[in-house]
Every structure is written in C-alpha cells, then in structure tokens.
Amino acid sequence: MDEEKPDTPEPRSIEQIRKDRNRVLGLGLAAFVVLVFFISIAKMG
C-alpha cells in the first residue's frame, strides 16, 4: 500500500519498531520494579 504513495515518508523497519517497543517495555518494567520497592517501603512505614 505504501509503495503506491512514493511521496509518503519511508516506513520504519520492523527491527527498528521492535527495538523501540522492547526499549519502552523494558523501561516500563524497570519503573514497575522501582515502584513496587517504594510501595513496600511506604507500607512498612
């Protein structure tokens, strides 16, 4: 479909999309771990 519209911007490669998504997922999981740590501290206090 994109080949029919040469004036549209070059679509990002699947690898690039996956890489970005994994990076966001990794950051999200790391943030979740940090949040659970601080929740535990707050609830103990």
Partner 1 sequence: MYGHATMTTSITPPNPASARRPAEWRDLIALTKPRVMSLVIFTGLCGLIAAPVRIHPVLAFTAILCIAIGAGGAAALNQWWEADLDAGMKRTAKRPLPQGRLDRTTARDFALVLCSGSVFLMGFAIGWLPAAILAVSIVYYSVIYTIWLKPRTPQNIVIGGGAGAFPPLIGWVAATGEITLMPVVLFAIIFMWTPPHFWALALFVKSDYAKVGIPMMPVVAGEKATRRQILIYSALLLPLTMTPWWIGGTGLVYGVSAFVLSALFLALSVRVGLRTRGEEDTMKPEKQLFAYSVIYLFALFAALVLDRFIVI
Q: Which positions touch partner 1 (CB under 8 A)?
A: 1, 11-12, 14, 17-18, 20-21, 24-25, 35, 38-39, 41-43, 45
Rg (CA), the chain: 19
Q: How far is the CB of 9 from partner 1 (least distance, A)?
A: 13
Give CA–CA dist 19/17, Å, rounded.
5
Which residue's CB is nearer to partner 1, number 6 or number 43?
Answer: 43
The nearest distance, CB 1 to partner 1, in angstroms, is: 6
Q: Contact 2/8 with Cβ under 8 angstroms?
A: yes
Q: Which residue has the tokens 């999981």?
A: 29
